[in-house]
Amino acid sequence: MSNFLTTSIGRKFLMSITGLFLMMFIIVHLGINMLLIFDDSGDLFNQGAHFMATNPAIKIMEPVLALGFLVHIIWSLVVTIQNMKARPIGYKQLNNSKSSTWASRNMFILGSLIFVFLVMHIIQFFWKIKITGDPLLAHVMVGGEEMENTYALVAGLFKESLIYSLIYVVGGVLLGLHLAHGFWSAFQTIGFANTIWLKRLQFVGTIFAIIIAIGFSVIPLYFQIKF
Amino acid sequence: MEKTINLTLKVWRQNGPKEKGRFETYQVSNISTDSSFLEMMDILNEQLVNENKEPIAFDHDCREGICGMCSLYINGRPHGPDQEITTCQLHMRKFKDGETITIEPWRAAAFPVIKDLIVDRTAFDKIISAGGYVSVNTGGVPDANAIPIARPAAEEAMDAAACIGCGACVAACKNSSAMLFVSAKVSQLALLPQGKIEAKRRAKAMISTMDELGFGGCTNTGACEVECPKSISISHISRLNREYLKARFSE
Amino acid sequence: MSILNSKTPEGPLAQKWTNYKDHQKLVNPSNKRKLDVIIVGTGLAGASAAASLGEMGFNVKNFTIQDSPRRAHSIAAQGGINAAKNYPNDGDSVYRLFYDTIKGGDYRAREANVYRLAEVSNEIIDQCVAQGVPFAREYGGLLDNRSFGGAQVSRTFYARGQTGQQLLLGAYQALMRQVNKGTVQMYTRNELVEIVIVDGKARGIITRDLVTGKLERHFGHAVVLATGGYGNTFFLSTNAMGSNGSAALKAFHKGAIFANPCMAQIHPTCIPVHGEFQSKLTLMSESLRNDGRIWVPAKKEDAEAIRAGKLKPTEIAEEDRDYYLERRYPAFGNLVPRDVASRAAKERCDAGFGVGTGLAVYLDFKSAIDRLGKDVIEARYGNLFQMYEKIVDDNPYETPMMIYPAIHYTMGGIWVDYELQTNIPGLFAAGEANFSDHGANRLGASALMQGLADGYFVLPYTIQNYLADDIRTPRMTTEEKEFVEAEKAVKERFEKLLSIKGNRSVDSIHKELGLVMWDFVGMGRNAEGLKKAITRIAEIKKEFWTNVRIPGSKEGMNIELEKASRLADFIEIGALMARDALNREESCGGHFREEYQTPEGEALRQDDKFAYVSCWEYKGEDAEPIMHKEDLVYEFVEMLQRNYK
């Protein structure tokens, strides 16, 4: 078992497992975020955010999630460097659009852009909520409980800034593209595919990617359009 | 119907494994669209010999798409623009008059260029010799019908066994991964009762050799399946992953 | 004659092989390690022999001109492999397979060898299944069989249309397992350029590394040639581009007997020649004849209109079509043996009824599609139809395929005795390279059987009978004078080739040779034509040695030099084929002398004069070779005229 994670399949296995884990996080994240557009008072979202911030299970998961991100990112570097080494001299003429999707060939680029987006996203929300604080986060009472007004922070950003809203739309699309390949690829790598399931997973993966991309893009657009 | 075309060819020339290569441009004219791509290369070579120049070295042998010897990365695609064929089965009717065709060797660290368009694919033999077989000696085996094999399994094994070892999968893969090649053999033998017995050992040994030889890893782009002249499915890669993970987790 | 002892064991036919094995000498395990065996070629015969001998513990060196043993041309065999398993319970037996092979070979093969081939056929299937060869199966899980090449029983095992590939990969994998264990040393992209004889025994070879151009010397206690046939003498054939007869010719020049050189098989179902740029011919599996009907227009004017492109085959009415095989051979129809089907096609085309370029006939699936449905035909031949469409750009589901015969296999080859040993002690020949089992014509699905029989089950026994006497012979150094001299001769030959610096490419001369061979030593031969061929080949030889142009040098990879060296040998073989064909004043199997035919145009054997193997002995560059005869004595089978009517 010792060198498993350095073998070609072992490396990919780690990418796959962390990827699947991050996908579960994404689903939860999107679920909570959707509360933003279903209640303009913000109460629903604040309750959701508060629950996530205080729930002990989530507290435990937080460092695991961070680890998941870290491993997924670092290993993607390792995988990419190894794979680049396998072809020291490239082709003069490439015509690979007929044989594979753009997203599948550019997972590292997509991932890197998502990483940039992620850093910005953390600074804008997570950092402020957890560390520095922000005037917009002034506590509110929801259902008899006092909590931070996370809604104000998020809605504020999207209402105020067209640029940021667009960046978030782009972020959602990038994530969708990443998942369009990443979803079924993760199952393929852990060996959960055969001729029939391969097609099913690819289909489900596409639907999943579209839902994620649209879901995350809709939120900033909603605030831009409505307010 | 037969017609003739004129072409410009940009061909990779390299005198030896250690030498520096370059592209050279050649003109060929009056090529019948009924001729095969390699026959067009023959015509060019005949032209070069008549000019007392060294002909272009390229691998080819059976010229009917089964030996796996021919290669060539033509206009950005292994085995050229047609589907489900090898270069030797590619015909000139797939090209237009006046077209420029770029011809390159397979590019991969594990497939070094020997000369011009010829690459060294002995890495594939090394992978097979690491475990791509059933360990039986000649003689003393049971009757052929002693073990019935379900037809779907036999058919799927045959789908995988159709691999001709040409290396188009490696050439097509952006990572130069040999996973489709390895998976075809692992999958074929894992599907059959004769091969199941040492399936774990086989998957481990073949993957370990594949890694040592400098092939990249699989990122499931699926290009290999599309460019494979025998259309070997990437579902075999999933089976290989499964066999390999089973082997590693049961250590 | 002392040099031609067939060493056929005593006893009844069915007991000979058992008797042989019971009494042969064996080599004990500790001595096997000390013995080196050189095997040249990695096709079915070479790879299976190398793997088997490696498993036994011999120290094997295996050579191939390809980049990998898996490329050998055995891989291209499509149809299947025969065995006398009688799984379908249709009356097959070892004897029947033996008898069919003897009869199909037109009574020009050795009885004992053929019986042994039929006997070990069953073991081959067992072996291949154990290796994981994915043969076609029934829904019940058992192996499927089909009828092939006119056999009256279903004895052909197959793996789709890629049986040769699957069997070769099985042998290749067994071989690579031995490479991994270190019992076999593999030399790829290495070509045999000379055989080294020390004290009358084969003791090694000189090879040329095709990448570096270096000559290398290799010692072996025995040398096995499994180098395939010489069909490429014709330039256009179904053989691979690299297939060559050089190893056989080197053996011949060193004193080995070349047997029945004129026996070449013409396969009836190949895609016709398109133009002068054509580099090789593509075989369409014989299995197509199971459902396809062969015809040409019955009226000459229709044939002419088709050739001029004014008429389509589908426009010819049923009554204006001549299904000539069904007409001439009602009992076998489209399933007559290969030689008969090929000649019949030539006869029609020569008479002016050919289609396409004039040298093609139709293979029509319309009635089969009407009877069975398109999907059944697609399931049976889909891959072949697709291959045809890729090459010809014509849809065989709608318009009939065009086919024409082409050179496919050479039954003749290096003479071997029952032990597969040539008349040079220590030099063995296996597979298509030897002449042994197919007589004057090979039956479909028998080449794979013979290659694997020789490699897995015959040679590993018989070679021990020779090596047992050699256990005290130490490994020789390759500094011995015989090795040094052999290498020097080879070097001089390559230098001579390079120094010609003429005006013609190798291929242009090869094409010229091919045309002479096809016109005069092809499907129909006669004394006048053969004499002309001998003269023409001598002229071509002169042209080659004075006017060939080989760019580049002998260092490094030089493809033109490789081709030139092989062509020089093909020219010699071509002359020998013509000479042998001229000598054999009869028609038998693939050898059809126009002077010897029945009033209906069928082959007429002359058993009283030619029931022998013609065995040619080389007498030097300037002397004519001499022919010896190995009489074929049929103890168990009566020689009959083949009749497929």
**Two tokens, residue C450:** 């013979």
Residue C372 lies in a domain: yes
C8 part of a folded domain: no
Q: What is the 3-state secondary structure (H, E, C) of C531-549?
A: HHHHHHHHHHHHHHHHHEC
The residue extents of the domains of chain A are: 4-84+105-226
- Determine, yes or no, domain membership for B29: yes
In a domain, B170, yes or no: yes
A88 touches chain B (CB under 8 A): yes
Q: Is B52 on the interface with C (CB under 8 A)?
A: yes
Query: B49 and B146, same structural domain?
Result: no
Of all residues in chain B, the percent with pLDDT exceeding 70 is 99
- The CA distance from B69 to the nearest CA of chain C, in Å, is 7
* Backbone region of residue B143 per phi and psi (left: phi > 0; alpha: psi in -120 to 50; beta: other values): beta
Do C and A touch, counting CB pairs below 8 Å (3 needed)?
A: no
Q: Supply the pLDDT for residue A2.
A: 62
- pLDDT for C1 equals 45
CA distance A171 to B35: 51
Residue B114 lies in a domain: no
CB of A178 within 8 Å of a chain B CB? The answer is: no
- Quickly list DSSP for C75-140: GG--S-EE----TT-SS--HHHHHHHHHHHTTT-S-HHHHHHHHHHHHHHHHHHHHHT----B-TT
d(CA C147, CA C100): 13
Q: Where does a domain end: C342, C371, C406?
A: C406
Cβ contact A188–B211 (<8 Å): no
Q: Residue C520 belongs to what domain range?
A: 481-610
The domain defined by A4-84+105-226 folds into 3 helical TM bundles of succinate and fumarate reductases (1.20.1300)
Shared domain for C381 and C509, answered yes or no, is no
Query: Does C18 fall in a domain?
Result: no
**Residue finishing a domain among B75, B104, B133:** B104
> Smallest CA–CA separation between B203 and chain C, in Å?
15
Chain C residues lying within 8 Å of B70, measured CB to CB: none
| Residue B21 and residue B81 in one domain | yes
Selecting from C132, C139, C505 the residue whose C-beta is nearest the C-beta of B192 gives C132
Is C282 inside any structural domain? yes
Q: Is residue C149 included in any domain, yes or no?
A: no
> Block means of pLDDT (10 residues each) for chain C, length 645 residues?
82 96 96 97 98 98 98 94 96 96 94 97 98 96 88 91 96 98 98 98 98 97 98 97 98 98 95 90 89 96 94 95 95 87 93 94 96 91 88 93 96 98 98 95 94 98 97 95 98 98 97 97 96 98 98 94 98 98 96 94 93 97 95 93 78
Q: C291: domain CATH number?
A: 3.90.700.10
pTM recorded for the entire structure: 0.96
pLDDT-based confidence at B141, cuts 50/70/90? very high
Select from B5, B43, B62 the residue whose CB has the most chain C CBs within 10 Å, as the one to mutate to test that interface.
B62
For chain B, what is the mean pLDDT?
96
Give the CATH number, domain containing residue B227.
Answer: 1.10.1060.10
Same-domain status, C389 and C274: yes
Residue at C603 is within a domain: yes
- The boundaries of the domain holding residue B53 are 4-104
Give the C-alpha separation, C115 to C17, whole Å.
9
C166's CB contacts (< 8 A; 6+ apart) are B158, B161, C128, C133, C134, C135, C159
What residue in C sits closest to B121 (Cα-Cα)? C67
Q: Is residue C43 part of a domain?
A: no
Chain A residues near residue B108 by CB distance under 8 angstroms: 86-87
Last residue of a domain, one of B104, B130, B148: B104
Query: Do the Cβ atoms of A12 and B218 come within 8 Å?
Result: yes
Answer yes or no: is B53 within a domain.
yes
Provide the number of structural domains found in chain C. Answer: 2
Residue with structure tokens 């590939």?
C165
> CB within 8 A of B156, min separation 6: which ones?
A195, B187, B191
Minimum Cα–Cα distance from A95: chain B residue? B76
Strand partners, C192: C207
**Residue that finishes a domain, picked among B104, B130, B160:** B104
Asked if residue C489 and residue C387 are part of one domain, the reply reads: no
Q: pLDDT tens for chain A, 227 residues: list them.
A: 568 988 999 999 999 999 999 999 999 999 999 999 999 999 999 999 999 988 999 889 999 999 999 999 999 999 999 999 999 999 999 999 999 999 999 999 999 999 999 999 999 999 999 889 899 999 998 888 899 999 999 999 999 999 999 999 999 999 999 999 999 999 999 999 999 999 999 999 999 999 999 999 999 999 999 88
Domain count within chain B? 2
Does residue B116 sit within a domain?
no
Same-domain status, B93 and B135: no
Residue carrying structure tokens 């060559």: C244
Residues C400 and C302 both lie in one domain: yes
pLDDT at B1: 52
Whether residue B154 is contained in a domain is answered as yes
Which one of B87, B133, B143, B181 makes the best mutation probe of the C interface by having the most chain C beta carbons within 10 Å?
B133
The pLDDT of residue A1 is 52
Cβ count near A88 (within 10 Å): 12
Instruction: Please name the residues between 137 and 156 in chain B that touch chain C, using a CB distance below 8 Å.
Output: 137-139, 141-145, 147-151, 154-155
pLDDT at C645: 77
Residues C490 and C599 in one domain: yes
Catalytic residue list of C: 338
Residues B45, B139 share a domain: no
